[in-house]
Amino acid sequence: MTSRRRILSVVLVGTLALTACGGGNGGGSEEGASTGGVTGATGEINPDGTFRYIFVQNPSTMDPHRSGNAWDMIFFWLAYDQLIWKNEAGELEPMLATEWEFVDDGTALEMSLRDDVTFIDGEPFNAEAVKANLERAMTLEESAIKGSLARIESVEAPEEFKVRINLNGPGANLPSVLSERAGSMISPAAFDNPDLDQNPVGSGMAKLTEYIPGQVSRWERNEDYWDPEAAKAKNYEVYVQTASPTRVNMLSTGQGELTYLMPQDQESAQASGLNVAPSLSTTEFRWTFNSGEPPFDDPKVRHAVELAVDRQAIIDGVFFGAGYPIAQHLPPDHWAYNPDVTIENPDYGYDPERAKELLAEAGYEDGVEFEMLIPALDDHRAIAEAVIPMLAEVGLTAETRVVESPTTPVTFFSRQEGNAYIGASAPLLDPTNQYEQNLEGQFRNPWNNTSEEFQDAWERSLEGTTNEERLPGIHDMIAEEKDLRREVPVMLFTPPSAWTDNVVFPEGYTPAYTPHFRGVGVTD
């Protein structure tokens, strides 16, 4: 039996075991993905109905500025408005900002704001509120997003509903950044609330009424919301359930309306009468390394991990084909994709013999042990089960520790526990935001591991006002990042979503791996 076949056999056996025990019983918009919408119920929406989504984790916090986990956007889209909205096709649309443009040769971004928005605590939304939010996100000691706003020199409020953001360099990615956590507007009067991490105070389409960590968050429609077409249900509930088979059962027994599944549970969902389709997804599984301590402070060891992992075996054996292998942090259909960085390149694809040579060159000819963190989710457990024997084949022995999924970034980057983990990145903003963690001073780079070549390319990736003008710098940035290998891509994951017959989706809507609920309702 060849090494590849032996590894694939282990992957398949591990997957069957995980499936048999329910996937393990331990504790938005997607840029670049094709859209066309799915078919939901066609009946009349019940304005007093309750829409229930079943997810796999809590929010890490309800404070967007402290959030190091982009999956928190599922909750933030209910509680908070963003300055800019990113639609299913990855296109930017007005939200709190009605229009925006770069002015003065790109040295500033000016935004006009809505004049009919009030925070749920009664405070007005205006330019001063935007200024206060951005300044807090840039200066708060615990801010997890200050690195994304490093291009901002200062913020001005020259008029009640006009903001001027002065830049200290090219900032073409800023509109995309302001469509996510950094653009989520908190009432300035709530900045110092001691319970803001569990009691959000925004201007969003729903208000939190109950939060039981690890179980459920309950929300009620904001009846004073500026967009009456957004909240089609009176109530929203987001349940936490880590096991995919249990999520199927919850939908089929009327305990929820929408969820995403592990691919092996798609047939059982369909057999239960549920609707199933691929999720809108640009979600990437990637290795993340502690590049400040042995053994992964040596780039040769990080490179060895990349070459030791048979990505296609994982996709076929673990995820039933729901994904495709990648060597960069962008999907192949993304406008900024670099066609020269693929797994067909021998420097990035599967080559266990070369991996062994690199370990020997790094001084680990007899192998090396390291601690691997595993976020406590069924898909993360499954991919971990698959890669561990692959690593062992080349001399990398993983000692594993399961950690809570929402706080994995805090555990790894803030507390600096563990040597490596495989995590799922949330949907893309601007392509530079997939790579900015390789700069100094970033939340995800406490070791400040970078290079002058990468920094120069990243700077050039922000120059210009069109995609075409930015593309040369972005392609150089992607290529330079491969020499750093702080985070190594494994695969794009496109799991199925499942929903019941009483869900009504707005036109063009496709359930995403990180979904929003604007315009989504129920018939009873």
Tell me how far apart the alpha carbons of residues 347 and 335 are, in angstroms, rounded to a whole number.
Answer: 24
CATH 3.90.76.10 domain range(s) in the chain:
64-190
The 3-state DSSP class for residue 60 equals: coil
pLDDT at position 327: 97
Walking along the chain (524 residues) 10 residues at a time, the average pLDDT comes out as 39 34 34 60 90 95 93 96 92 96 95 98 98 98 92 97 96 94 98 97 98 96 97 98 96 97 95 95 94 97 98 95 94 93 96 98 98 94 96 98 91 96 85 90 93 96 89 97 96 95 94 94 93
pLDDT at position 175: 95
DSSP string, 101-151: EEETTTTEEEEEE-SS-B-TTSPBPSHHHHHHHHHHHHH-TT-SSGGGGTT
pLDDT at position 433: 83
Those residues with Cβ within 8 angstroms of residue 152's Cβ, 6 or more apart along the chain or in another chain? 134, 138, 165, 166, 167, 168, 171, 174
Short-list 481, 463, 485, CA closest to 472: 463
- Give 304: exposed, middle or buried? Use CB within 10 Å, 0-12, 13-18, 19+: buried
Domain 50-56+205-278+499-522 listed as CATH 1.10.10.10: no
Question: How many helices and strands (H and E) does the chain possess?
Answer: 13, 21
pLDDT at position 288: 97
Short-list 391, 141, 150, CA closest to 289: 391
Angle at which helix 3-20 crosses helix 378-394, to 10 degrees, equals 150
Short-list 311, 397, 306, CA closest to 358: 306
**The CA-based dihedral angle spanning residues 264, 265, 270, 275, taken in that order and rounded to the nearest 10 degrees:** -110
The superfamily CATH assigns to domain 3-21+282-493 is Dipeptide-binding Protein; Domain 3 (3.10.105.10)
Tell me how far apart the alpha carbons of residues 15 and 398 are, in angstroms, rounded to a whole number.
Answer: 18
Strand partners, 421: 288, 373
CATH 3.40.190.10 domain range(s) in the chain:
50-56+205-278+499-522
Sheet holding 162-167, edge to edge: 97-103, 108-113, 162-167, 152-159
- Indicate the fold that domain 64-190 takes in CATH: Dipeptide-binding Protein; domain 1 (3.90.76)
pLDDT at position 70: 86
CATH 3.10.105.10 domain range(s) in the chain:
3-21+282-493
